[in-house]
Chains A and B, each alone.
Chain A
């Protein structure tokens, strides 16, 4: 056992602390090349990561960078810097600690490159940028340790892949580098350990005491939840009561729009003027920081928030977490609950509030999963190649390299350890020439090979590459500002802004504002006294219910009685059983009925929102082929409802696997989701630059859309690398065809078709579901023609004889 140095022992004693077992373990294993600690929030997790560094640095002999700390959030880096100051100042350790994020000033960043601190706190993007400089070898030369905080959160996205690629570069510059990962409770720690270590180094996993089980329940309200919707406005009085009973409450929502609407309604009902704030990713930095510091001071009774507060920042004494809406995913729920009560060995307290009747079932299923410690998650696929392309460009900015060296470094990253040389060469070729079947750019290559060394053709290109580092793909957003001020209120999606006309009102940061117009890429607004806004539809992420949770729900539906469910929900399920049939895990239930004289068909697939959406698109396509005349559909996590001109008489052939899969291939190439995915991958891989010095100057966006590039590639170069990447991404992302496959495997073509005289109890909520999608194709053309005729009619222009003759030929595109 490695003993704490006396200085540290005294400091622990002075604070009345003794070293936690996992902190001692981390100290004992400090020379391991890689080590993963699984620990709940609180409990001195961060200190256990830093303790070996503080001890190694205490004698003041180390010069330059010693420890890198990487976290997913800028705010977390700033928070840790504050917390780390306490031991360093109190023990008077000769250690310089600085952070480096997107918010760090240019001068400070330059200084850090010339004279790096002992401990640098940063984010994956800032670290990748740091490796792109020519002086990277000097900056990282003496580096000993890297601590990756909240590694489970990074692991879920491409940011983790980018970070591990950057570390592979740094490891080559500092061969003695040791890695430490700090993670919340996850379902598969081995997978994270595999990502963390430099392949094939071993990585042991240490477990801290997880503490007592959380005290978690469903919020009981006098009023039953509504049939549909996600707002949970019915629960506001009960939520306010809970807020009053506790010191500080975090109220989590699944989307930003829901958080905004709930916050607004909470204020209208807040007769006691409880101090309540709102925090989500689309708010301006000033706004978020204001709420964060009020929180730390203990000035707020509650914060309405989204995933932006998911990570381990210490917000002070949170003693209750409320989750509004079904959690969709048990692991995330457990991590959110962990936000309450940071005192070690005290249970976290949490309440779940179902937003509608079906979510009651989901919440109860999730409660049992939490009690059973049954976490869910999807296995992570191989390292995405668009991120690799960006890494190659970043590497080129730092100076010449050989393909062999870079390949060796890249395959030392766990996620890329199985990358073939051919696949790597494809990425290198894409970076150099665009990788097109038509070799058009031999004269204008981006990267050239001279004497076996790859380098930028034009070194000035490094500026553009650096400006576009990162893998976070926000939907295109516009800043929102009050007229004639510089103060930003936050951001809304470009698509949402396009639907606004002057005079419209919407919610942002809990305020109702009126849209005045668009000026130089900012949305100009004024305050508005209205009580009811036009709803803010900026989305945030919509999660799909996980496969594991979905299976629990299906099991629950099969129970004979439901004593654990509130009466209103149990009665509803009973009614479904009597009136129609309960969905089963190994069969697809299909219900047909007429509603408002129009035939409706409901398919209960239980495959999660994204997959059910895809299923809706595929089924309507099949229905078109069968001549049912589908008009539109709506999808939820558990069902898809289609309405059509003619009724579906036999749904079984619709589920024919070959038919669905062929339709999928055909549909995929022209699909909007694919185009959206393509835009993301094209940005990451460096085909489209979101930021350029010119664009920043003029504030103008790209002059034509990436959709055109997608269509052109699909037509002329269908085997292009980026199209392959796009398909891989879409299959596991928004399209989620994997879950449709899972559904088809478990149901094996067993379809139960129930014909009903009217809507069934389980289908009733679908009637109220928003997000209906019109079926495209001939229908849309007809709609547009009618719209055009209507406008001509209204304006009277169609009665003027001098109307220009219609062109007598058609332009074919």
Chain B
């Protein structure tokens, strides 16, 4: 018998072991839901799959009686717009400021301490400030996401630039590169895939800030809806919404990964020469 740390599951066993916890959770839910519903048919805490299905149907494919909107899609669109805008803006700032900080010591001396200090401010603590300054509209939500993840992206990019071997930068100079050419042709293309990696890591926080902002002030959005229906204990809406958000998060992560793989083939066979 081999040591435990040397025993590896076969391909099939790996898939099976991966599915197992999901299946167990599902079974546990079904069992608990059945028990509660048997005791009280009006129980709202663990709704049966049938009522969850009905709720999904009515949110996604029936127009809302009051507004005439298909709520799930309206919410999804609103949330994805805010998230996309906030993440895009942060990624852009990360790239521009991060690369400038990493590549140009004069920039770094001036901006790095500021970015460092800003990254220590808990973004949620200044959400009220954002609401006061930008109002309760879209800007403050996008701003919260940006303030939440941009400092991380900037610092990560700066670090990635500083990690490039010095030999490469010297070599580029012996090939006649100016500072600008060096940034454009040597640094930028090498940190782009790393930026996409960092964006994938920061998406979790981006969702967190988005839902927090929507929970406090919004008229539509996935986070808004969850917090709205909480008042009615509508677990049949909350649970599928949470699953939907998880699915969206998974899909964006997956798409970013595929994008990196397609666009930067050199990045995946070692990254370094």
Chains A and B come from one and the same complex: no
